[in-house]
Amino acid sequence: MQGPACTVGHVRVAVLVSGTGTILDAMLGRGVPVALVLADRPCAGLEVATHNKVATRLVDRRKFGGFGRSFDRRAYTVALTEALVSAEIDLVVMAGFGTVLAQPIHDAFGGRILNTHPALLPAFPGWHAVEAALEAGVKVTGCTVHLATLETDAGPILAQEAVRVEDGDTVESLHERIKAVERRLYPETVQKLLAELATSGRKEQ
């Protein structure tokens, strides 16, 4: 299964969501041309998309074993990837997406899947990056936008910005300042990549 080739001047972006849709809202507010919002569970992100008249698709984990050990990750990934390919998506943007995906999506969209992480990778990879930064006593952490690969938080880094750790910070207060940076840096990085893809497409003509 292969993703479609990028069309000149019309790169189709899909945003994958699982939660409130705040990153999606930031993307839309900064003019990212989102063609599809896809969720792995019913969530407020789908409502954000509908409010902004963006097409939505629910590929529900509950139909693939849910959230326990019976979850069929590969079958779920195949179904999600087929939905993206059928929508002629060029670029996949993960925005608080709560499901780790398997190899098939990387086969179809390798080098065209973006993710964001609340730390300055390679420091503090994994699900508890903000807690880990506080426990380590660092003075600076931040936000990283990177290409997603099969190995979690290990793909090429596209952009980073530092966030200072303040005295008395909690996980919640630090994470909120990181998210404020994320909501600006992530859309900016997507826009830059879209421009590069469009330019590359023109050169290939």
Report d(CA 150, CA 164) in Å as an integer.
30
pLDDT at 182: 98
CATH number of the domain that 74 lies in?
Answer: 3.40.50.170
Q: What tokens were used for 100?
A: 């780790």
Asked whether residue 204 is assigned to any structural domain, the reply reads: no
* Exposed / middle / buried, residue 97 (Cβ in 10 Å: 0-12, 13-18, 19+): buried
How far is the C-alpha of 171 from the C-alpha of 165, rounded, in Å?
A: 10
The answer to whether position 5 is within a domain reads no
Beta strands in 31-148 (DSSP E): 34-39, 55-58, 91-95, 113-117, 140-147
- Exactly one of 106, 117, 146, 175 is catalytic; name it: 117
Residue 65 in any domain: the answer is yes
51 is catalytic: no
Write the burial class of residue 9 (CB in 10 Å: 0-12 exposed, 13-18 middle, 19+ buried). Answer: exposed
Task: Report if residue 3 sits inside a domain.
Answer: no
Q: Which pair of structure tokens corresponds to residue 173?
A: 């207060």
What is the model's pLDDT at position 201?
A: 58
* Separation of alpha carbons 114 and 197, rounded Å: 14
**Element at 107 (helix H, strand E):** helix 103-109
Structural domain span for residue 149: 13-199
Instruction: Identify the three-state secondary structure at position 113.
Output: strand
CB 43 within 8 A of CB 19: yes
SS3 27: helix
- As a whole number of angstroms, the distance between CA 171 and CA 194 comes to 33
Domain contains 205: no
Q: Measured between alpha carbons, how far is 174 from 126 in angstroms, rounded to an integer?
A: 17
Residue-level pLDDT, tens digit, the chain, 205 residues: 544 444 434 789 999 999 999 999 999 999 999 999 999 999 999 999 999 999 999 999 999 999 999 999 999 999 999 999 999 999 999 999 999 999 999 999 999 999 999 999 999 999 999 999 999 999 999 999 999 999 999 999 999 999 999 999 999 999 999 999 999 999 999 999 998 877 775 444 4
| Residue 22 burial (10 A CB sphere; 0-12, 13-18, 19+) | middle
Give the model's pLDDT for residue 143: 98
| 104 part of a folded domain | yes
> Is residue 106 a part of any domain in this protein?
yes
Chain Cα centroid distance, residue 37 = 11
Give me the number of domains the chain comprises.
1
Q: What are residue 69's phi and psi, to 5 degrees? A: -70, -20
Neighbours of 63 (CB within 10 A): 12
Assigned domain for 7 exists: no
Give me the pLDDT at residue 6, please. Answer: 42
